[in-house]
């Protein structure tokens, strides 16, 4: 199964790289596939690459759904 996750761009780096925040966790990714990227933009990432920009509200809703699924999964294991 493949999963692409929304992340907020927190810092642009040289060589088409950036630091993103995934629900508070920082990760360095490639942004070579995205044009006109700015700090504060949200992107969908998969295996270390930003695939596309995403609307900030859509990113927040998706992250909230992932949190809910994680919480429900923990309850089922108990």
Q: Domains of the chain (ranges plus CATH)?
A: 5-77 (2.30.30.140)
| Residues in contact with 49: Cβ distance below 8 Å, sequence separation at least 6, in sequence order | 29, 30, 32, 33
pTM of the model: 0.83
pLDDT exceeds 70 at position 78: no
For residues 6 and 44, the answer to whether their CB atoms sit within 8 Å is: yes
- The pLDDT assigned to 63 comes to 87
Q: Which residue has the higher pLDDT, 73 or 39?
A: 39
Q: Can you tell me the mean pLDDT for 36-45?
A: 96
Could you give the CA distance from residue 28 to residue 60 in angstroms, rounded to a whole number?
A: 20
Share of the chain above pLDDT 90, in %: 68
Average pLDDT over every residue of 23-51: 95
Query: Can you give the pLDDT at residue 3?
Result: 79
Q: What is the mean predicted confidence (pLDDT) over 56-73?
A: 87
pLDDT for 76: 56
């Amino acid at each position: 199964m493949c999963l692409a996750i929304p992340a907020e761009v927190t810092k642009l780096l040289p060589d088409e790289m950036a630091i993103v925040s995934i629900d508070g966790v920082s990760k360095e990714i490639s942004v070579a596939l995205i044009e006109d990227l700015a700090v504060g933009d949200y992107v969908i990432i998969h295996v270390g690459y930003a695939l596309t920009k995403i609307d900030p509200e859509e990113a927040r809703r998706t992250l909230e759904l992932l949190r809910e699924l994680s919480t429900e999964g923990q309850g089922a294991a108990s």
